[in-house]
Amino acid sequence: MLDEVQVRRNKLEALQARGIDPYPKTTQRDTTCAFALEKFEQFSQEKKNITLAGRVMSIRVHGGMMFADVVDGTAQIQATFKEDEIGSEVFTLFRDSIDPGDIVETTGMLFTTKRGEKSLLVSAWNILSKALLPLPEKWHGLQDVEKRYRERELDILTNHEVRERFVMRSKLVSAMRDFLNERDFLEVETPILQPIPGGASARPFQTHHHALDMELYLRISPEMYLKRLIVGGLEKVYEIGRCFRNEGIDYSHNPEFTMIELYWAYADKVTFVSMLEELLTYCIRKTRGSLLITSEQGEIDFTGPWKRTTFKQSIIDACGIDIDEYQNEESLIAAVQEKGLKIDFTGCIGLGEVFDQLFKKTARQNFVQPIWVFDYPISLKPLANVSPEDPSKSASVQLVVRGAEIINAYYHELHDPIEQRRRLMEQQSLREAGSQDAQFLDEAFLRSLEHGMPPTCGMGIGIDRLAAMVVGVPSLKESIIFPTLRSEN
């Protein structure tokens, strides 16, 4: 018995032998399935001829009657073929040549079947694309999660829930733009290929430009360039774009991801944090219709105002350690061990990275509902100014939801060029000591600051992570259309 792929190829050759092009370049479609269903009563009463086009999902033959479910990008409709009306030759050609997965064009009038199903009574049809590979049968045989990610087009095609997930993600991003554009923020684009990667503590991807014979990096953040635009007098700017970090892959990290960063000159802390809360609630409500998100992981209520704590207090509450009592990593690690906490600090270089690991493994993982965590240690935020209330802390805040960072913001960006140089030189020393995440010294950015940057607030949101939370899935791979995967070989 011939396998299905060979059968499809034989049908392709049979069509070509009849002089039929299985891959025509144009279509006469004049109506979408969704519009046909919306105007069904009117079109059926008028006996209006319409032409639909879409993918055949299933075919059922009952003697001289044949039914095909056809889906386009808007909806699905049933196409009905009656042999005594369409003619035996046309009927048989469809029956013998078309398989589920083929893309066809059908012309006819809308009517209601005896079973009450809205349908198109086909009077003519054309093939638009012959599928040489079969579709997964109702997602049967494509249960392998990794295969779903690798063949996302089939995942979207055969799984309505997945399709809706990415539609929601698109609405989320559109809502962000609408919110910011209405408030006079200017959307800009900054370089992805950068001579110096900056704006975050992360290991970059490196590449080589042959014409210029120079090493370049894929950006880890657009921060440095956006701040240079603030220096240039653009007071309210944002960018939505891809960033790249050469790090591990897990449920909340992907090496290639979409980020929004925003900078607002002359804004104050209270106004800025309030605006961020308003931004997120606006986008979630526009996307979901509600601020209450229910999923298999439980409920998250984004109704504001959100709770607040500090980095220091959250660790005290979680494990009883006051970070202010420790001035170096050795003493802090010893205190963690005395508490009996099993935290791996391998690879942490400098007190800041130890603070970060302690927070992630104690306080942060306990937060489920939205909470603002203010005033991270300065050693963790080399680009943030100091907190006016406590100069040993940075003027920073993160929104944490279900153990993950959603918003990372500085309510006072560091705009003192001398202090910024000292901080980046300190970061450079950490790099030289072996840190893969410490930041680079960026002379172009420092020179820009020396021209004067106004007091500024800034923030970043990982859109993939936010989208995963908003659509109610546990992993970033479910909110990224084509996530990064290990080679099949």
Mean pLDDT of 351-365: 94
Cβ partners under 8 Å of residue 104, min gap 6:
53, 54, 56, 68, 70, 98, 125, 126, 127, 128
Region 24-39 average pLDDT: 98
Average pLDDT for the chain: 94
At 143 the pLDDT is 58
What single string gives the DSSP state of each residue in 211-278?
Answer: TTTEEEEE-S-SHHHHHHHHHTT--EEEEEEEEE-----BTTB-SEEEEEEEEEET--HHHHHHHHHH
141: confidence class by pLDDT, cuts 50, 70, 90: very low
Q: Which of 291-295, 431-435, 484-488 has the highest mean pLDDT?
A: 291-295
Range of the domain at 468: 157-306+369-478
Look-up of token digits 């992805």: 192
Q: Is residue 354 part of a domain?
A: no
Whether residue 170 sits in one domain with residue 125 = no
pLDDT per position as a tens digit, 376-388: 999 899 999 999 9
Q: In terms of domains, do 291 and 415 share one?
A: yes
Same domain for 109 and 44, yes or no, is: yes
Q: Are residues 57 and 170 in the same domain?
A: no
In a domain, 426, yes or no: yes
Question: Per the domain annotation, does 344 fall within a domain?
Answer: no
Q: What digits encode the pLDDT tens for the residues 145-197?
A: 888 899 999 999 988 899 999 999 999 999 999 999 999 999 999 999 999 99
Q: Distances from the Cα of 367 to the Cαs of 322, 348, 362, 397, 399, in angstroms?
A: 19, 23, 10, 15, 10
Q: Tally Cβ neighbours within 10 Å of residue 87.
A: 13
Same structural domain, 228 and 280: yes
pLDDT band at 437 (very low <50, low <70, confident <90, very high): confident
Helix axes 417-432, 443-450, angle to 10 degrees: 170
Cα separation of 372 and 409, whole Å?
10
- Give CA–CA dist 1/439, Å, rounded: 63
Helix axes 443-450, 223-231, angle to 10 degrees: 20
> End of a domain among 80, 112, 129?
129
The whole-angstrom separation of Cα 124 and Cα 106 is 6
Residue 454 has pLDDT above 70, yes or no: yes
Question: pLDDT band at residue 347, thresholds of 50, 70 and 90?
Answer: confident
Neighbours of 192 (CB within 10 A): 14
Residue 121 belongs to some domain of the structure:
yes
Residues 237 and 378 in one domain: yes
- Mean pLDDT confidence for 391-406: 96
Q: How many residues belong to the chain? A: 489
pLDDT tens across 42-67, in order? 999 999 999 999 999 999 999 999 99
Residue 50 lies in a domain: yes
**Predicted pLDDT of residue 136:** 82
Phi, psi angles (nearest 5°) of residue 190: -120, 165
209: domain CATH number is: 3.30.930.10
Q: Are residues 56 and 104 both part of a single domain?
A: yes
One domain, residues 175 and 285 = yes
123 shares its domain with 173: no
Dihedral over alpha carbons 339, 340, 341, 346 (to 10 degrees): 110
Same domain for 291 and 432, yes or no, is yes
* Same domain membership, residue 252 and residue 387: yes
Task: State the total domains in the chain.
Answer: 2
Q: In this structure, is residue 144 part of a structural domain?
A: no
- In angstroms, the CA 224 to CA 23 distance is 49
Q: Read off the pTM.
A: 0.90
Residue 262 lies in a domain: yes
d(CA 338, CA 450): 46
pLDDT at 242: 97
Q: What is the largest CA-CA distance in the chain?
A: 89
What CATH number is attached to the domain comprising 90? 2.40.50.140
At 5-18, the pLDDT tens digits run 999 999 999 999 99
Q: What is the pLDDT of residue 235?
A: 98
The verdict on 225 and 184 lying in the same domain is yes
Question: What's the CA gap between 332 and 325, in Å, rounded?
Answer: 8
| Preceding omega of 305 cis (within 30 degrees of 0) | yes
Q: Give per-residue pLDDT as tens, 247-274.
A: 988 888 999 999 999 999 999 999 999 9
Q: Which of 129, 145, 179 is the last residue of a domain?
A: 129
Assigned domain for 101 exists: yes
Dihedral of the alpha carbons of 344, 350, 351, 356, in degrees to the nearest 10: -50
Which of 81, 109, 129 marks a domain boundary? 129
- When pLDDT is cut at 50, 70 and 90, the band that residue 2 belongs to is low
Q: pLDDT per residue over 67-93, tens digit each?
A: 999 999 999 999 999 999 999 999 999
Six token digits for residue 15: 């069509």
Residue by residue, what is the 3-state secondary structure of 358-405?
HHHHCCHHHCCCCEEEECCEHHHCCCECECCCCCCEECEEEEEECCEE
